[in-house]
Amino acid sequence: MEQFADRVAVITGAASGFGRAFAQKGAQLGMKLVLADIDGDALGAVAQSLAATGADVIAVPTDVSEGAAVEALAQRTLDAYGKVHLLFNNAGVGASGFIWEMSANDWSWVFGVNLMGVAHGVRVFTPIMLRQNEQAHIVNTASVAGLVSPPAMGVYNASKHAVVALTETLYHDLRRAGAPVGCSLLCPAFAPTGIAEAERGRPARWRNEAPPSASQLLAGRALRKAVRAGRLGPADIAEATFDAVRTGRFYVVTHPAIMESVRARHEDIEQMRAPSDPSAPPQASA
């Protein structure tokens, strides 16, 4: 997909982080924007700031874990612009700690947003793109946690590994259908986004009554530190992602240093070894 001006982009998780950066980049390229997020106030502020620069933008508060809400988002998009050319299934949340200490609500929340949000986006918007029979593209945000499995991040890892599998399959299915629709898999490492503060947007139905465990508190502090230390910002990630869309590249791994851990994981599988810890410091040579 080489042309962006006057094309329609739908972006979930658009109120902060990568989603807001995708919206800003899309506005710079002259795209018509449909922004979605569960945080309606923050979403409205982003849309207002982009409109002030001349962007053609609408904001649609959306809980992507709800299939009916994503269907409503698609209808609002068609009502406003008639088509959709670029979809960012980007909304994401995180919960961390020892995997056996994660509650049923933790699993439902993280999988509801990270996996089912992507699944609903693909389910609802792909048929629209296919009917258009025009160049279009889908970007699913996973994570390097979908390529490796760091400790104390089991729920998040599992959700992101599922997004990787979903998107790789989507690629094959689109090719079999002979569709002019491409897709890309975004796998960033830690970057200064709002993921560490996602708990504030957890719906009431999925909140925990019990206080966090020691492992959850420790993992939360480690996550916030890692996010703050990220060397690439959301704008850098957005630039790399739009480049991938432009060139039709599938894997978008924004932090190449992680590939050493990815290779180690693949070698562990091939050699039938126990899994390496991707968060452990490299071993010094003898």
Residue 185 forms beta bridges with which residues? Answer: 140, 251
Instruction: Give the distance between the most distant pair of CA atoms in the chain.
Output: 65
The answer to whether residue 156 is catalytic is: yes
Label residue 41 exposed, middle or buried (CB < 10 Å: 0-12, 13-18, 19+).
exposed
Query: Taking a C-beta distance cutoff of 8 angstroms, is the pair 112, 36 a contact?
Result: no
Query: Taking a C-beta distance cutoff of 8 angstroms, is the pair 161, 146 a contact?
Result: yes
Specify the DSSP element, H or E, that contains 251. Answer: strand 251-253
Q: Is 8 helix (H, G, I), strand (E, B) or coil?
A: strand
Burial 103-140 (b: 16+ CB within 10 A, else e): bebbbbbbbbbbbbbbbbbbebbbebbeebeebbbbbb
Label residue 203 exposed, middle or buried (CB < 10 Å: 0-12, 13-18, 19+).
middle
DSSP letter for each residue of 101-151 = G--HHHHHHHIIIIIHHHHHHHHHHHHHHHHHTS-EEEEEE--GGGTS--T
Q: Which of 81, 156, 171, 251 is catalytic?
A: 156
Label residue 177 exposed, middle or buried (CB < 10 Å: 0-12, 13-18, 19+).
exposed
The catalytic site residues sit at 156
